[in-house]
Amino acid sequence: MSSEWPLWEIFVRGQHGLNHRHVGSLHAPDAGMAIRNARDVYTRRNEGVSIWAVRSADIAASAPGDKGPLYEPANTKVYRHPTFFDIPDEVGPM
Amino acid sequence: MYAQLVKSTGEGVKSRDEMTGEERAFQDRIDAGEKIEPRDWMPDAYRATLIRQIGQHAHSEIVGQLPEGNWITRAPTLERKAILLAKVQDEAGHGLYLYSAAETLGVSRDELIEMLHSGRMKYSSIFNYPTLTWADIGAVGWLVDGAAIMNQVPLQRTSYGPYSRAMVRVCKEESFHQRQGYAIMMKMAFGTSAQKRMAQDALNRLWFPSLMMFGPSDAESVHSSQNMAWKIKINTNDELRQKFVDQTVPQAEYLGLTVPDKALKWNKKKGGYDFSDPDWDEFFQVLKGNGPCNRERLDARVTAWEDGAWVREAMVAHAEKTRAREIAAQ
């Protein structure tokens, strides 16, 4: 059995002005083929206007176990949301 | 279904007291409706069962291209041909979404393909039946894709994130498949008497194999209850089969076709049809490899894989050469 083609993560920009979003992955021998394959696999129905392909091995990810230390501190900082502050109606829109 | 008879490796559902701390936390997440993602902790049996189920599902999509591919060159019009090509291409796409989902569980694409070719992994029994006439292409879209939708819609809520997302994508595309099949059936059923006969003949041959797609009754199965607790399986086989019959019979009536089951009768009390079971002996024979087309289907897959080997190798060689040239130029 020959060596398997590397895995790529595919990101598609759905419409002009939007971020690229992760849509899935596929195997391809190189970046050019990854984009061609992504076109066939992920945009058969006008789902996108731009494709990014990134080698899966090159993605750094946070560990599931780090969820607490990474995200919980934000829970106590409600003042980061505008609704924390009461502004009187007389002031007008703000 | 597309994944029939998936056995979990566990011995049934553990009570909370029997679970380890990790297992209990895992079950709590599933009960709360959270999705499990690839790097999260999961019981070995959950992982193994999912690999089998998603793998079988992926293989079904890929092998499912063969009976329809049989008619691409013989489609009656250019438009029908273009539509059928698009549908078969979708099936390839569905296979790829699902293989990718399975790979997130730590099995490689080559391993999955090797397991299909060696017969260690199965695909749906339905694809071991032949497509003898153009009406069969209509019946496959209408009945087989219809049955697949029955199973795949609830699976969008399955607990494993990558599988669930693949199902969402598949479901979006699948209703085109069923409707194109029904459109073929309408053309045939409302056409000449010869065309109508072909449509009826296709329904006669594919009705019971379609009911088999849901698998034998599993209300009592320990595997099924574990898979349901893990939200790998959402409904029992019987529930889905009943839903399928209730939905499909009026569609057959609209076509003026007769469902080939003398016992079929509306049961007012249960609000659904009573109907005959398919021949489960035949089902097990087909799963064992003794259906009308098992050999042909697997041979076609293996031949495609072997004949394509030089292309896969050449593309790797080309990619390596290009990369070496780029490095040298820097």
Find chain B residues with C-beta within 8 A of A30's C-beta.
315, 318-319, 322-323
Q: Among A1, A3, A25, whose Cβ lies nearest the Cβ of B100?
A: A25
> Average per-residue pLDDT in chain A?
92
pTM exceeds 0.90: yes
Name the nearest CA neighbour of B153 among B165, B140, B171: B171
Q: Among B39, B89, B110, whose Cβ lies nearest the Cβ of A1?
A: B110
Q: Among A5, A26, A45, whose Cβ lies nearest the Cβ of B316?
A: A5
Q: How far is residue B202's CA from residue B180's CA, in Å, rounded to a whole number?
A: 16
Report which secondary-structure segment, H or E, holds A11: strand A7-13
Q: Which of residues 114-153 of B touch A (CB under 8 A)?
A: 114
Q: Among B89, B114, B315, whose Cβ lies nearest the Cβ of A33?
A: B315
> Average per-residue pLDDT in chain B?
94
- Indicate yes or no: CB of A29 within 8 angstroms of CB of B41: no
Q: Give the pLDDT band of residue A1 (cuts 50, 70, 90).
A: very low
Q: How far is residue B192's CA from residue B185's CA, in Å, rounded to a whole number?
A: 12
Q: Which residue of B has its CA nearest to A22?
A: B165
pLDDT tens digit string along B103-120? 999 999 999 999 999 999
pLDDT tens digit string along B121-154? 999 999 999 999 999 999 999 999 999 999 999 9
The one-letter code for the residue type at B305 is: W
A24 interfacial to chain B (CB closer than 8 Å): yes
Pair A94, A87: CB distance under 8 Å: yes
Pair B5, B24: CB distance under 8 Å: no
Which of B29, B175, B315, B326 best probes binding to A when mutated, by most A CB atoms within 10 angstroms? B315
Find chain A residues with C-beta within 8 A of B41's C-beta.
64
Q: How far is residue B330's CA from residue B328's CA, in Å, rounded to a whole number?
A: 6
B26 interfacial to chain A (CB closer than 8 Å): no
pLDDT tens digit string along B271-295? 999 999 999 999 999 999 999 999 9
Q: Among A2, A4, A30, whose Cβ lies nearest the Cβ of B322?
A: A30
Report the pLDDT averaged over residues B255-274.
97
**Residue B1, pLDDT above cutoff 60:** no
**Residue B7, pLDDT above cutoff 90:** no
Q: Give the pLDDT band of residue B6 (cuts 50, 70, 90).
A: low
Report the pLDDT averaged over residues B158-185.
95
Pair B1, B151: CB distance under 8 Å: yes
- Indicate yes or no: CB of A40 within 8 angstroms of CB of B110: no
- The per-residue pLDDT for B153 is 95
- In angstroms, how far is CA A64 from the centroid of its own chain? 17
Report the pLDDT averaged over residues B62-83.
96
Name the nearest CA neighbour of B93 among B163, B13, B173, B205: B173
Q: Which DSSP string corresponds to A32-67?
A: HHHHHHHHHHH-TTS--SEEEEEEGGG-----GGGH
Measured in angstroms, the CA of B38 and the nearest CA of chain A are apart by 10
End-to-end CA distance of chain B: 54
Measured in angstroms, the CA of A63 and the nearest CA of chain B are apart by 8
- The per-residue pLDDT for A66 is 86
Domains parsed from chain A with CATH numbers: 7-61 (3.10.20.520)
Structure-token pair, residue B45: 């049996």
β-sheet with A50-55: strand ranges across: A20-27, A7-13, A50-55
A45 interfacial to chain B (CB closer than 8 Å): yes
- Indicate yes or no: CB of A40 within 8 angstroms of CB of B41: no
Find chain B residues with C-beta within 8 A of A2's C-beta.
309, 312-313, 316
